[in-house]
Structure 1
Amino acid sequence: MGILNAFAGNLQQVSNDELMREYGPFLFNGEQITNGYQLVRDAVIFTNIRIIFIDKQGATGAKARYKTIHLDAVVDVEVETAGAIGDDSELNITYLKDVYQRKTGTETLDEITLEFPRKFDIAPIYRYLGELAIANRERINAK
């Protein structure tokens, strides 16, 4: 991982083997890592079930918080591609926070932003999450 990109707040891709060694014990039965990214100590991991955000805390990073967005909750995705000079790419993921929205008739949405270095090819992640969002919207809105 490039140290300048890390200090700039940009995620760098990490091998699935490396992610499995470090975070494998936190995967659910049948869950498999599809890809993942690291920012100094923190990480974002995409699996076949969810997106996992790992926030390592404290001076040593021994303490960590794991946040999950289930793939079936993703309802929208936006991308901002990098500009010509010094800009990074951003990916905004909008997801349902309330799993009971069908019962209550209301939606509670939240959004998270991921930043990638300028030369990173963000299009495959955007397409993947966009197709997922379309399928989720069709499933959620089916009567």
Structure 2
Amino acid sequence: MAFGLGKLVQGMLGNMSEISLEELEQQFGRYLFEGEKISIGYKLIRDLIVFTDQRILFIDKQGATGKKQSFKSIYLMNIVDVEMETAGMGLDDSELTITCLQSVYRKAYNEQLTSYTFEFPKSTDIVPLYTMLGTLVLQNRQDINNQH
């Protein structure tokens, strides 16, 4: 399944603090699964989001120093919905909410869903990310509904 990271890079480059592949691999390479490859990563307001060829790895920095970190995997094949909220005139940040199947089995009659919301700096154009994830959502829904 193609993830379309080219559109993401073109649409968001310069709007967020992109982290170099070398730095990402150095910091997070030990958390990758066998054969998994990092595609791109960004620093959000305080946290990090790393896209691989298999999942989105969300690193939530906790506590005052941020040394304690929580790692959450969002598997690309399980993303079934995406919502976007752009920044307003005030101090609001942009938000992107991804809804995923939580269960191992991708069966419509036994859905267990969970959602994750990511905050992006106000200056970030999140529309390319939203449309790319929306395309992935459509592919996933077609795959799920075609299973018998």
TM-score range, shorter chain: 0.7 to 0.9
Q: What is the aligned partner in structure 2 of residue 8 from structure 1?
A: none
Q: CA RMSD in A?
A: 2.2
Q: Show CA shifts across 1:43-65 (max 9, x none).
A: 22111100112234566655533
Q: Show CA shifts across 1:92-126 (max 9, x none).
A: 00000012252x82100010000111111212211
Q: TM-score, normalised by structure 2?
A: 0.77
Which among 90, 110, 133 is matched to residue 106 of structure 1?
110
Which among 111, 117, 122 is matched to residue 121 of structure 2?
117
Structure 1 segments unaligned to the other structure (5+ residues): 1-10
Provide the rounded CA distance (Å) in 1 between the counterparts of 2:64 and 2:116: 25
Structure 2 segments unaligned to the other structure (5+ residues): 1-15
Aligned pair count reads 132
Q: Structure 1 residues 120, 40: closer, same or farther in 2, change over 3 A?
A: closer
Provide the rounded CA distance (Å) in 1 between the counterparts of 2:88 and 2:66: 33
Provide the rounded CA distance (Å) in 2 between the counterparts of 1:40 and 1:82: 14
Q: TM-score, normalised by structure 1?
A: 0.79
% identity of equivalent residues: 50
Which among 23, 28, 34 is matched to residue 28 of structure 2?
23
1:90 has 2:90 as partner: no
Q: Structure 1 residues 80, 94: closer, same or farther in 2, change over 3 A?
A: same
Q: Structure 1 residues 32, 78: closer, same or farther in 2, change over 3 A?
A: same
Q: Which amino acid aligns with 1:87?
A: D
1:135 has 2:139 as partner: yes
Structure number with greater CO (CA < 8 Å, separation at least 6) is 2
